[in-house]
Amino acid sequence: MPFKTLNIQLQNNIASLGYTAPSPIQTKAIPLILKGRDILGAAQTGTGKTAAYSLPILQMINKTDSSELARVQALVIVPTRELSDQITLAIRSFALKMGLRILNISGGVNISKQIASLEKGADIIVATPGRFIELNRQGHIPLSKVQFLVLDEADTIMDMGFIREVEQIIDLLPPKRQTILFSATMTGAVKRLSEKILNKPLLVEIDNLSPADLTIRQIVHPIEKEKKSELLSFIIGSNNYPQVLVFTRTKIIADEVSQHLKDSGLPCATIHGDKKHGARDRALKDFRSGEIKILVATDIAARGLDIDDLGVIINYDIPHIPNDFIHRIGRTGRAGKDGIAITLLSTTEQISWRKIETMLGKKPERIIVKGFGPTTSVAEATKTRGKSFTKETEKPKKAAGAFGNKKKKELVQPKYATKRGPKIAKVEPAGKKRSSKSNKK
């Protein structure tokens, strides 16, 4: 049992929080991190990965003498300020009565207050990349004592274009450190980053889709794009859901959807990148407390939201990046609880939806809501870029000439074609030691 390898204070803290048994990702990751190994972890949100990396780090961190100023020993980098707030609160709850200073450094907050907090010292910092680099450049965050680096939601960090900031942070840190990278999806960008920053990592992976398959009922409602807002208000109003989180692709659509819901007599709150930090905090607070039953959010603003007992999420449209669909539905059905994920699918989104179905490995049930059925069949619909869904129109043949019959170049072999990836971590039976013969093999 991984929890039994932790000190008494940590065991008492997690017991008081209701942790009785470790999740699969915690069972695999905690013993390996305690051994000092670099980890490449693949697990979606809601699987307990915050505890998977923070508990062993809290176990190994050196407590600063009370007479000395605490120096940063562990750094956790996350993509959004909401996720930074959430993880900071979680780590503080795990570290109760341990005498450690855990600070949250993210954008959208008064920088003077953050500087004042840093002047009192910090053992662990949870930060977003931009604000962290800004404060480091000003000389407020010494990094010579950092022993642990965690990149959480690495796929989102890459999607948001923070690769340069991450590279800058890596260059600032001591080369001798333990690095842990967690991601809900293993994209090409994440794998390339792991090759650069991890030292002989072990791959710790759980089936990202199985929890959703077991606990989330996925429903697709085919609908014309122009009728989506009307169908959305009908679904929410007729079902009287206790809480609903609605996802949109853009900030403009989020505002339009919110206004339509309000005009339909359905009060709601909105969060997206253009909203100020205080407004986003108030919206989340009202939603968590139940004062507001409907929250409309974009993918970036909603990444990392942890809402207890959230039963329903609605995809107003398909995300730009297929992997974001996993993050969206991961907001419900958390910790093994039941949830419903509804998608309003227009005929112009069919191609994007097929990619998501391929990723899911199944086709969620389709239900046409009476009075809201699509008037255009999939075969008649067209792609966004003007290309047909069907093969009725053949592609024009290339004309003969210098450009028409140009010889194709041979495929170039990948630069790291022969490079071996991280070893897959194996869970060994407790107390069992490998013999010298098996090691030789």
**Geometric angle at alpha carbon 202, from 198 and 208, rounded to 5°:** 105
Q: DSSP character for 349?
A: G
What gap in Å lies between CA 205 and CA 25, rounded to an integer?
A: 7
Mean pLDDT of 264-284: 88
pLDDT at 80: 87
Instruction: Give the orientation angle of helix 129-137 with respect to helix 111-118, to 10 degrees.
Output: 60
- Going by CATH, does the domain composed of 2-208 fall within 3.30.365.10? no
Reference 195, options 170, 227, 231; nearest CA is 170
Partners of 204 in beta bridges: 41
User: What mean pLDDT is predicted for residues 23-28?
Assistant: 92
| CA 37/CA 199 separation, integer angstroms | 8
Highest mean pLDDT among 77-81, 229-233, 282-286, 336-340: 229-233
Whether 336 has a pLDDT exceeding 70, the answer reads: no
Rounded Cα distance, 271 and 281, in Å: 9
Backbone CA torsion sign across 163, 166, 172, 178: negative
Mean pLDDT of all residues in the chain? 83
pLDDT of 82: 84
**Residue 398, pLDDT score:** 53
SS3 221: strand
How far is it, in rounded angstroms, from Cα 126 to Cα 91? 9
Query: What mean pLDDT comes out for the span 154-170?
Result: 90
Judge if 2-208 and 210-366 fold alike in CATH terms. yes
Which residue(s) pair with 202 in the sheet?
Answer: 39, 423
Q: Which pLDDT value is given to residue 98?
A: 93
Confidence at residue 432, expressed as pLDDT on a 0 to 100 scale: 54
pLDDT band at 382 (very low <50, low <70, confident <90, very high): very low
At residue 62, the pLDDT reads 80
Structure tokens that stand for 193 in this block:
């980053």
Please answer whether residues 195 and 419 qualify as being in contact, where contact means their C-beta atoms are separated by less than 8 angstroms. yes
Tokens of 338: 């039941």
Beta strand 216-222 with 178-183 is: unpaired
> What confidence score (pLDDT) does residue 207 get?
61
Distance CA 370, CA 343 (A): 16
Q: What are phi and psi of 308, to 5 degrees?
A: -65, 135
Give the residue from 18, 74, 7 showing the smallest Cα distance to 48: 18
Which pLDDT does position 210 carry in this prediction?
46
DSSP 333: S
CB count, 10 Å around CB of 137?
11
Q: How far apart are CA 282 and CA 90, in angstroms?
A: 20
Fold of 210-366: Rossmann fold (3.40.50)
Residues 6+ apart with CB under 8 A from 67: none
Question: What residue ranges do the domains of the chain occupy?
Answer: 2-208, 210-366
Phi, psi angle pair for 259, to nearest 5°:
-65, -40
pLDDT computed for residue 391 by the predictor: 40
pLDDT for 147 = 96
Q: Which amino acid is at 401?
A: G
- Apex CA 98: angle with CA 93 and CA 100, to 5°? 85
The pTM of the full predicted model, rounded to 2 decimals, is: 0.71
